[in-house]
Every structure is written in structure tokens, then in C-alpha cells.
Structure 1
Amino acid sequence: MTNFKGIAVALMTTAAIASAGTAMAQDGANIFVIGGKADDPFWSIVKRGAEDAGQIVEAQGGTVTWLGPQNYDNLGADAADLIRTAIAQGADAIVGPDWVPESMDEAFMAVTEAGIPLIIYNAGGLEAADRLGAMNYVGSDDFLAGKAAGEYFAEAGVTNLVCVNTLPGAANLQAQCAGLAEGATGKGGTAEELPLPMTSFGNPTAVTQAIKAHLLQNPEVTGLYTIGNVDANSASIAITQAGAADRVKLGGVNMDQTILNNIQAGSQLFAIDQQGYLQGFLAVALLNNYVNYGLTVPTRQILTGPGIVDASNVEATMAGVASGTR
């Protein structure tokens, strides 16, 4: 397993040697990162990656500022306001996910029109980076992640799927559900989306009850796919409460220690890994090097996933979760 902490330390050492030998040509980069709620389990990992890269930024005289919404009730508009806040506060570079393009693209265009370097990460893909004039896209391909999940389910004999979407309207999650459907149908299965109110996101009880009700009303369902680790844990409880553990298999994007334990125990089939730590770390590191030194990489789409964690590799993954990087 790659030692990302070791990479960060090595880079810091290199930066320290370079700065000791010569004076910095300019002040460091002030980088603003738009992300999810600080207490969101997935986004806390992305934030850690950004902060670890931020140690290099700070050693070179710059700063990394994390901006996240208070909740996900009005995600697109709130995220657009955060982008505008970063511009107003004098950002030298900005990182952000294009969750809801119709609400956020105008704000992102203001970034590039102001000549501020931009990286799209986590959501939107290279298409969003091209449309918005961003340097790079760093993250997973959401459609391919869903497709890989649909194929995995079908190959395991699980062919009647439901994609539980607790943030309907978010482009990356719609892509996940669309990919799941294509992957399943390509292998002879079926898949439908179960959109829940956005207010249910982060409310485990509400998600559990909604999934339980759906399973009781639809006994033909044999597989559930969730769009986040909190939802996966809620779905696991719902399956048990519905008395459906024998017929319904669970998979989803992202993971935590509970999910890995469930995979190890056989109560969850798999998890899609998009390596959120790398998304935060690489996006900040790329922008820092660009602002300070004009460095770029020729590969504009830098994919951090999808990968599949199942019984075959779950033990190797646990060490990364324990360190807060998976």
C-alpha cells in the first residue's frame, strides 16, 4: 500500500531544502477548497488529504482554506455562494466539485474569468473541467463507478437492483445511478433509482425507514446500492429490519470501518473506493505547484477511482481506514 504520509513528508523535506537555499520568488499560494460538511465521514477524509498537502503550502508561505456548507438542503446554491466567497477573499487558486452544474457553473465561470486557476474535483469529470476552463479534473468517474457496481452485482447473481439516492439532483450521484443501470442491464439485470428527500441525507433513521419500507413493498429487490457510507450503514440496518438479509445484497460507494467489518463478515458485498484522500491531496498539490512555479501535468483527467473493495482485499484496505486516508 502506498505510504501517502511518507510522500507528504518527503515533499516537505524537498521544499525545506529548496527554500533554505534560495529566497522564495513570491508569497505562497492562498488556496481555497470547496467541499462537503466537515463532519461528513467521506468529506473529512478529503479534507485530511487537502490539509496534508497544505503542510507543503504553508511551508512555502501559503494557506489552505476549507469551505463547506452547513447542510445539504440547498446544495447547489450554497456551494455557489462558497465559490463566490473564495473569490471575494482573494483566492490565488480554487478547488471545487461541480455537484449541481445549473446552480454552480456561473460561479465557477467567475473564477476562471477572474484569472484564478481552478481544479474541479470529486464531481463533474473532465467534461466539467473543459466546460469551465479548469486546469484538471481530479477524482473518480461517477458513471463508471456505478457501472462497475452494476456489473459486479450481476456477476454475483444479484440482478434486481435499487440505487438509493439521498441527494437527487446532484449530477455526480445521478451519474452513479445511471451507471448502475447500464452495468446491470448489460449483464441481464435491472436497476431503478429510489430518490429520497435531500433532507434525509445525514439522517440515518430517515434513510433506514425509507429503505425498509421500499424493501417490504418490493419483495423482488435483491440488491441495494448506496451513494455514501452513512447511507450504506443505514441500508444494512434496513435490510435486517425488513427481514431481507437472505435475499438482499448490499454495495455502495465509499467506506468506513463499519463497512469494512460488514464486508469481512459477509453482510455487505462490496464498496466502491474513490480514494477521497487523494482527491484533496492531489488537487491542492497541483494548484500549489502551478501558482508558485508554473508547473502543470499533461494528463488533465487524473482518476482516483473507481476501485472495488470486497472480501478479496478488505483486510489490506483496513490499514488505510485506520489512518484516516481511505
Structure 2
Amino acid sequence: MNTPPPPHTAARRIRAAALASALCLLVSGCSVLGAAGDGPDAGGGADGGMKVTLVTHGGKGDAFWDLVRKGAEAAAAKDGVDLTYAGDADPAAQADLVRDAVRDGADGIAVTLAKPAAMRGPVAQAKAAGIPVVGLNSGIDAWRPTGLLEYFGQDESVAGRAVGDKLDGLKAKHALCVVHERGNVALEARCAGVRMAFGGETDNLYVDGTDPDAVTATIASRLRQDSSIDEVVTNGAQFALSAVEAVRRSGSRAKVATFDIDKDLVEAIRDGEVQFAVDQQPYLQGYLAVDALWLYRTNGNVSGGGTAPVLTGPAFVTRSNVSAVARFAAAGTR
């Protein structure tokens, strides 16, 4: 004997069926509910809810990606989405995670494009399976050629140029731009933007972002070698704190600025140890990516019209305005 489904489950199925029927009336030739395709539909996990997978290039223990994940989880909770989060800094492994999501029958996939070439094949597989894919955080110049539906993030070149202009305003002369992941298109674009706009000299310094002690030691060594460096620009909040320590160890008089913030970085700005940070709002990126997939599946919405990115930054956080974001940072959402 079959047990009748709970009332709320039955109601959900009725609503989903009604929506699908209404869509069929609007679409010529629609004959099979739930047929494969890249158009919007209600999606469906085992309980009738959407299944969304978020795949990033973030490594374990990185506070930045914790913020992205929290935003995604908040949107999933609001929308009744079954969310799976996965991340791997290795581009081949990240690509495999996207393929896993396709095999698992995800209703939507959100992905970062730190190494765009590695994502082209998996994204094509997702599209062939009728799974919409949106981008976030990295790959603003690659999301459309890669075939993504929407993109949420910061224009890193614009952000870098804004930092360059700010350094000019601070009368800096020689900037060291610290790249913690070689080949990451977003980080490279930031430093290129700084170099483009900054009137002084800009050098890139490549460090191993997986080894905090090595990051500090490498920056300190470079500062000892070149006393003309008066500004260290890092590409992550934790690396800014490493740079602060490196300045102390080396006896340098260089100032520190950074892209991205977290609660510890907020305190460093308050204390005057870091001049400013560029906030791209990672929580918002995660939230918008998941919510966008839900809106597309349930209502056919496409943010930016599918042609323009939705920008989440840049915004400058300085000692003069840090109190405005401090309580949100303390709560782990900024």
C-alpha cells in the first residue's frame, strides 16, 4: 500500500505541474513535461526541489571562499534549493567536479573561471545536458565565450585601475603587487590594472598562497632587497596580514593595501596597519549565483540580459568608513 505524500509535498508537486503546464501553453510544440533542454523549468531533486552545485577554485581553509559559500547557502535556504558546494584549486580537478555535477543531474551549476580553458569542456557538457551554468568571481572576460548564462563579480581590471589611481593619490612611488596563484586570470588582471593606472613603478611578486609562512618570508625578502618599495598590494585579506608581518620583519617603511576583506582585515584597517581594501562582496557573489539559477528555472529571469555582467564591486574600505561594514564582517558575511 502506498502512503499518500504529506500535504505540503503534494501541494509542491501540484504547483510545479501547474507551472510546467502553463509554460507548455506558451511554447509551440511542447509535448513532454521535463524534457531535456536549456530552457527554464522547475527542476527537481528527490523531494521536488532544485539541485544546484557551486564549484569554485577555492582551496580548503580560505576565509574568502567561506564567505562565498555562506552567501550561496543563504540563497539556497530562501529558495528551497538543495545546494552542493565543492572547490579545488587545481583546474583539472575543478573541471572534474563540474562533470560530477552533470552526472549527478544538477538542475543548475555555478562555477568560477580562474582558469577558463579548463572549464570549456565541462560547461559544454552541462549545456548539452540542458543544465544552465552561471559564473561568479573569476572570468569576467571569459564567461560569454565559455557559454555561461550570467556572471556575478567584479571587473578586476577596473578594480586594479582604481587601486592604481588611489596609490597616486597617496603619493606612492613603487608598488609591489603580490600574486598568490600564478595564472589566475583575476589576480593577473588586478595587477595589470594597477600597473596601467599607477604613475609610479609596479612589480609583480609571485608567492605560494598555500604556505602562509612562505608568503611572509618571500615578501620580507623582497622588501629587504629593494628599499624603494613603498606600497605592498596583496590579492587577499590573509595575504595582507602576511604583508604587514613582512614589513615588520624587514624593517621596511612600506604601506600595505589589499583586495578583499574579512573580519581580521577589518580590524587591521581600524588599527591603521592596512591602508585600504577593495571589497568585491564575495557573500553577494555566492548569493546571487544561486538565486539567479532559481529565478531562471522558476521564472525565466536572466540578470544582465545574458550580455552584461552583474557587478558586485569594487568598493573601497578605509579607516574612515570601515565601521559601516565591521558588524557584518564580524558576523561572517562581509
TM interval, short-chain normalised = 0.7 to 0.9
Q: Does 1:195 align with 2:206?
A: yes
Match in the other structure for 1:47: 69
SS at match of 1:95: strand
Flag structure 2 segments of 5+ consecutive residues without an equivalent.
1-7, 18-41, 43-47
What secondary structure, in the 3-state scheme, does the structure 1 residue paired with 2:16 have?
coil
Q: Which residue of 2 aligns with 1:118?
A: 133
Q: CA deviation at 1:293?
A: 2.7
Change in Cα spacing, 1:56 to 1:257, as seen in structure 2 (3 Å) is: closer
Pair 1:280 & 2:286 matched: yes
- Asked if the contact 1:57–1:63 (Cα under 8 Å) also holds between the matched residues in 2, the reply is no
In 1, Cα distance between equivalents of 2:167 and 2:285: 26
Who is 2:116 aligned against?
101
In 2, distance between residues paired with 1:319 and 1:21? 41
1:28 shift after superposition: 2.4
Structure 1 residue 96: Cα displacement: 0.5
Taking structure 1 as reference, are residues 209 and 38 closer, same or farther at Cα in structure 2, changes over 3 Å only? closer
- 3-state secondary structure, aligned to 1:152: helix
Is 1:237 matched up with 2:245? yes
| Residue correspondence of structure 1 range 163-242 to structure 2 within 5 A | 163-184=177-198, 188-196=199-207, 200-242=208-250
1:292 aligns with 2:298: yes
- After alignment, is 46-55 or 153-162 more displaced? 153-162
The answer on whether the counterparts of 2:304 and 2:310 sit within 8 Å (CA) in structure 1 is no
Aligned-pair CA distance for 1:118? 0.8
Aligned residues: 293
Aligned to 2:39: none
Matched, 1:259 2:265: yes
Aligned-residue RMSD, C-alpha: 1.8
Q: 1:153 aligns with which of 162, 167, 189?
A: 167
> Percentage identity across aligned positions?
33
Larger Rg: 2
Deviation at 1:92, TM superposition (A): 1.1
Aligned letter for 1:273?
D
Residue number among 301, 317, 321 corresponding to 2:325 in the alignment = 317
Q: Distance in 2 between matches of 1:183 and 1:79?
A: 33
Q: Which amino acid aligns with 1:48?
A: K
- 2-structure distance, mates of 1:51, 1:234: 29
Contact preservation (8 Å) 1:120, 1:128: no
Residue of structure 1 aligned with 2:276, choices 258, 270, 273: 270
Residue from 84, 87, 92 that aligns with 1:68: 87
| TM-score normalised according to structure 2 size | 0.83
Amino acid at match of 2:82: T
Letter in 2 for 1:67: A
TM-score by length of 1: 0.85
Mapped contact 1:160–1:222 kept (Cα < 8 A) = yes
The partner residue of 2:254 within 229, 248, 253 is 248
Find out whether 1:32 has 2:53 as its counterpart: yes
Deviation, structure 1 residue 170? 0.8
Question: Structure 1 residue 303 and structure 2 residue 311: aligned?
Answer: yes
Listed as ranges, the gaps of 5+ residues in structure 1 are 1-15
Three-state SS of the structure 2 residue aligned to 1:23 is helix
**Structure 1 runs (4+) greater than 6 angstroms displaced:** 19-22
- Aligned partner of 1:87 in structure 2 is 102
Distance (Å, rounded) in 2 between the aligned partners of 1:258 and 1:289: 34
